[in-house]
Chain A
Amino acid sequence: MAENILEVRNLVKYFKTKRGMLHAVDGVSFTLERGKTLGLVGESGCGKSTTGRTILRLIEPTSGEIIFEGKDIRKLNRFQMRHMRKDMQLIFQDPYSSLDPRKTVSQIISEPIKANKIMTRQSEIDERVAELMSIVGLAPRLFNTYPHELDGGRRQRIGIARALAMEPKFIVCDEPVSALDVSIQAQILNLLKDLQEQMGLSYIFITHDLAVVNHFADDIAVMYLGNIVEKAPAEELFTNPLHPYTKALLSAIPIPELGAQKERIPIKGEITSPVNLPDECRFYKRCQYACDKCKGIPPLEEVAPGHFVACARVAELN
């Protein structure tokens, strides 16, 4: 029986802005099995990064439960939370701004070890750093170099080594390959996959790139304006998308093969502003099937085993 490492229930994060309440994350629920990957997909502004950061409590959620290994981490105090962070790590999108330019590679990787006082002897720490560097494929001669002397791929490897330093069980990967070139992107994806197999890591993989998430994730949740509109195993989502937004999104991916392009399902207009949202399906304004049934936010319902959709007209449309 697969065990859930993480369960998120009804997570909400609102930001107060001058124009009104910004609904960044608006009632998101999901579970993540140990050793698996959940892909969080969506376009910019859909709240996927905020969701990732709220789970780690880098941003305090407005409401909801985040249950990690059976404990609701929202109830932990600062000290307990710091302890908990050993098990929950984050890999950043931008390999440039996520590494302190004034620190050497070894200082960056050893920071979590020192901060949590895992080791105190310098020689011990150095050896651990060297071990981590070899795990992520960084040459030992880079030990004392500065990040600005290195390329994006190597920088991202430093970020991964830093995240692995505490031997975490769960990592939020926030667009870890979006800033990288394709050939380097593939190297990093393979590395993350190998690490998952070796260490039994669980990932939340946040991305806007559907081809990457399809390759990488076991389950995929599609987000739109702070809501999960569809969630299914990767294979199922790609072969049998049910939500109109998912369908449009999938048809928009350019495929690097001749004659492979599917017919485009157009969506009207652009993403709606997440400020002061009316009480209707979030996709209402852009959906070609929108009708009166779409007033009121549709709940995420299971339509097939493991396949959840939030659409009022899902039955009649498919």
Chain B
Amino acid sequence: MSELTNTSSDLVLDIENLAVRFETDDGIVRAVNGLDLQIRKGRALGLVGETGAGKTTTALSILRLVPKPPGVVQCDKLELNGRDILTMQTKELEKVRGKEVSMIFQDPMTALNPVFTVGDQIAESIHLHENVSMTEAQKMAIDMLELVGIPGERAGDYPHQFSGGMKQRVVIAIALACHPQLLIADEPTTALDVTIQAQVLDLMKSLRQKYQTSLIMITHDLGIVAEICDEVAVMYAGNIVEMGTLEDVFNHTRHPYTEGLFNSLPNVNDRKAKLKPVPGLMPDPTDLPEGCPFYPRCQYADEKCKLPQKKTYVSDTHFIRCCAYDRPGFHIEREEKS
């Protein structure tokens, strides 16, 4: 089984014990708390969680874009293709951004510069990172546009001449222009309509296969994850509470929070089913509970949950942070599927 032997050369991204906090006037906001994350070449990871779970902060730390101050980033390891990001010089870092890792943001309206044509914006990214002349970069930009399904002759148009879905395609073209090994997409389709979302997702799926790009897909929509990811990490209050392959997390759900997320979604096949939302609210990130951050909302919680939670592997590919399984015979209500 090649999937299980994680040789380090295979890892595109390797994060160990990442912690990010923001020191504000109102207290210290603990956005990410001891997160571990590995992504292998060509794999797509869905990073799922609700607002304030720390998904975007995690992504920004990978690019070293967390604003400082008030942000403070600490970790044991943060490596991209075996190279340490945290100690990198600014010059080197600029080469890495865009060339080895690039990011797509939620709002395509603000990601493009309104005073340059889209062709120039793509070409600029190519010109910066590849050793080509500007005219050659222009030609490559047109190819990129056609690749994302926009006719090449529109390269001379300005962003405001494109619709929302088209702009997001342009943003994808810029992000993929230098064929990065890792693409981070932060809610790339949230601002789009369903039918346009479907088009963009299909496009991302096919481009990823073509270039063997690794992908981190940040989203709150489990449906999107099911559609384009291989692995899922569920985040809650700054840490991954459950991670595994799609099969592991969707069909053999273990963590009570993941269960809560699934139960909150209306079931398309059974419209009469009553929603079972997670009671209560996400804890205040300036005042996180001592142990498992989820225990105040968890229906299975007991005294042990107030202690710090360890990472427990339930299978080779599947881990959770939940001590409830130490109890003999414990299982959550959600049924296993095969």
Q: Verify whether A and B have any Cβ pair under 8 Å.
A: yes
Give the segment of A55-63, A95-103, A253-261 that binds chain B: A253-261
- B54 nearest CB across to chain A (Å): 14
Residues of A within 8 A of B265 (CB): 182, 186, 211, 256
Q: Is there an interface contact between B195 and A255, defined as CB atoms closer than 8 Å?
A: no
Whether A234 touches B195, Cβ cut-off 8 Å, given contacts A253-B223, A260-B226, is no
Specify which of A44, A254, A270 is in contact with B201 (CB 8 Å cutoff). A254
B226 near A183 with CB under 8 A, answer no
Residue of B nearest to A213 (CB): B266
Measured CB to CB, the nearest residue on chain A to B198 is A252
Q: A186-B275, A249-B195, A270-B165 are in contact. Are A254 and B266 (CB under 8 A)?
A: no
When distances are taken between beta carbons in the complex, the residues of chain B under 8 Å from A234 are: 271
Contacts of B263 in A (CB 8 A): 186
Least CB distance, A278 to chain B, in whole angstroms:
19
Given the complex, which residues of A lie within 8 Å of B165, measured CB to CB? 270
Q: Are A182 and B194 in contact (CB under 8 A)?
A: no
Q: Is A181's beta carbon under 8 Å from chain B?
A: yes
Is residue B224 within 8 Å, beta carbon to beta carbon, of the partner chain? yes
Please determine whether A256 and B277 come into contact, CB atoms closer than 8 angstroms: no
In the complex, the answer to whether A255 meets B221 with C-beta atoms within 8 Å is no
Count A-B pairs with CB separation below 8 Å: 116
Query: For residue B197, which residues in chain A have a CB less than 8 angstroms away from its CB?
Result: 252, 254
Q: Mark B256-280, 1 if CB is under 8 A from A, else 0.
A: 0000111111111001011111110
A238 CB-CB contact with B under 8 Å:
yes
Flag whether B73 is at the interface (Cβ < 8 A): no
Q: Does B317 belong to the interface (CB within 8 Å)? A: no
A16 at the interface (CB under 8 A from B): no
Q: Is there contact, CB below 8 Å, between B271 and A208?
A: no
C-alpha gap A254/B194 in the complex (Å): 9
CB of A153 closer than 8 Å to a CB of B: yes
Cβ A254 vs Cβ B226 within 8 A: yes
Inter-subunit contact B266/A212 (CB<8 Å): yes
Q: Which of A44, A215, A260 has the most CB of B within 10 A?
A: A215
Q: Is A255's CB under 8 angstroms from B223's CB? A: yes
Across the two chains, which residue of chain A brings its CB closest to B251? A258
Taking CB atoms, residues of chain A closer than 8 Å to B64 are: none
B185 contact set on A, CB distance < 8 A? none
What's the least CB distance linking B300 to chain A, in Å? 16
A215 lies within 8 A of B271 (CB): yes
Beta-carbon contact of B247 and A258 below 8 Å = yes
Residues of B within 8 A of A182 (CB): 50, 220, 261, 264-265
Q: Is the interface of B mostly helix, strand, loop or mixed?
A: helix
Q: Closest CB-CB distance, B234 to chain A, in whole Å? A: 12
Interface status of A4 (Cβ within 8 A of chain B): no
The chain A residue with its CB closest to the CB of B223 is: A254
Secondary structure at the A interface, as helix, strand, loop or mixed, is helix
The smallest beta-carbon distance between A162 and chain B, in angstroms, is: 21
A181 to chain B: which residues have CB within 8 Å? 50-51, 220
A256→B275 contact, CB < 8 A: no
CA distance A151 to B275 in the complex (A): 21
Proximity bits, A123-160, B CB within 8 Å = 1, else 0: 00000000000000000000000000001110000000
Contact between B222 and A190 (Cβ–Cβ < 8 Å)? no
B75 on the A face (CB < 8 A): no
B246/A258 in contact, CB under 8 A: yes
On whether A151 and B281 interact (CB within 8 A), knowing A43-B193, A252-B194, A270-B196, the answer reads yes
- Whether B226 contacts A271 by the Cβ 8 Å rule is no
B residues 178-211 in Cβ contact with A at 8 Å: 193-199, 201-202
Please give the distance in Å from B215's CB to the nearest CB on chain A: 16
> Which of A43, A184, A255, A264 lies in contact with B277, CB distance below 8 A?
A184
A302 within 8 A of B: no
Note all chain A residues with C-beta closer than 8 A to B84. none
Contacts A/B (CB < 8 Å), 18 sampled: A153-B281, A181-B220, A182-B261, A182-B265, A186-B275, A208-B194, A211-B266, A212-B266, A214-B271, A234-B271, A235-B271, A252-B195, A254-B226, A255-B226, A256-B222, A256-B226, A256-B262, A270-B165
- In addition to A249-B195, A266-B198, A270-B196, 5 A-B residue pairs with Cβ atoms within 8 Å of each other are A183-B50, A184-B277, A186-B277, A210-B268, A258-B246
